[in-house]
């Protein structure tokens, strides 16, 4: 309680600090960034694991910090858990780690600037394919059935619909 009051007075008494943060300093697990309301305690583990899967472990380079057994990844994972328990949201935590380790640790790359190509590329490819398909469809109605129709003897096909007739034809090939 005393600490809280002290923190509050400090925050009031130090308006010249560069932070726009309007919360007690000891709540600021990330300097000059204020947390929001903390999540319920039983959800912290799950939230940490989910967020951890979006962050790359900088030393093992293949895996995320939730799944990697390396010391660095464990430490980052613990830090993430602290921050989440302290009430920080995903955006703040991600920014904190990017400041520390660089863009490299984002397994889900930022969708801005040059990177946009990553997100537009597959769509472009799909659009191109669709355009080609449509182009070929234009000719459909023009041409009558070019291929010959081979009918099996009528005594077998009596009472069958087209589909069964085709199956029959396929199956009774020698």
Residue ranges in contact with other proteins by CB under 8 A: 45, 49, 53-54, 56, 61-64, 66-69, 74, 102-110, 114-115, 117-118, 121-122, 125-126, 129-130, 132-133, 136-140, 142-143, 145-151, 156, 160-174
Give the shortest CB-21-to-other proteins separation in angstroms. Answer: 29
Q: Which is nearer to other proteins, 18 or 69 (CB)?
A: 69
Beta bridge partners of 121: none
Q: What's the token pair of residue 80?
A: 């993430």
Report the length, in residues, of the chain.
174
Q: How many CB atoms sit inside 10 A of residue 65's CB?
A: 29
Q: What angle do CA 94, 21, 73 make, to 5 degrees?
A: 25
CA atoms of 71 and 60, how far apart (whole Å): 10
Residue 40 beta carbon to other proteins: minimum distance, rounded to whole angstroms: 16
With beta carbons less than 8 A apart as the criterion, state whether 31 and 24 touch: no
For other proteins, which is the closer residue by CB, 23 or 169?
169
Instruction: Closer to other proteins by CB, 22 or 151: give it.
Output: 151
Q: How far is the CB of 13 from other proteins (least distance, A)?
A: 41
Chain centroid offset of residue 11 CA: 38
Instruction: Tell me the two tokens of residue 37.
Output: 């309301």
> Min. distance of Cβ 38 from other proteins in angstroms?
20
Closer residue to other proteins, CB minimum distance, 28 or 64? 64
């Amino acid at each position: 309680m005393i600490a809280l009051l002290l923190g509050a007075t400090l925050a009031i008494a130090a308006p010249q600090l560069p932070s726009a943060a309007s919360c007690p300093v000891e709540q600021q697990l990330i300097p000059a960034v204020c947390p929001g309301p903390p999540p319920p305690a039983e959800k912290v583990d799950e939230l940490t694991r989910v967020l951890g899967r979006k962050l790359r472990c900088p030393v093992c380079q293949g895996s995320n910090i939730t799944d990697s057994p390396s010391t660095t990844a464990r430490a980052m994972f613990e830090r993430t858990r602290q921050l989440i328990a302290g009430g920080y949201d995903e955006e703040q935590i991600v920014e904190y780690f990017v400041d520390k380790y660089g863009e490299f640790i984002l397994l889900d790359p930022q969708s801005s600037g040059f990177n946009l190509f990553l997100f537009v590329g597959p769509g472009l490819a799909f659009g191109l394919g669709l355009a080609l398909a449509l182009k070929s469809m234009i000719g459909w109605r023009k041409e009558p059935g070019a291929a010959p129709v081979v009918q099996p003897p009528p005594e077998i096909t009596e009472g069958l619909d087209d589909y069964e007739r085709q199956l029959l034809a396929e199956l009774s090939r020698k």
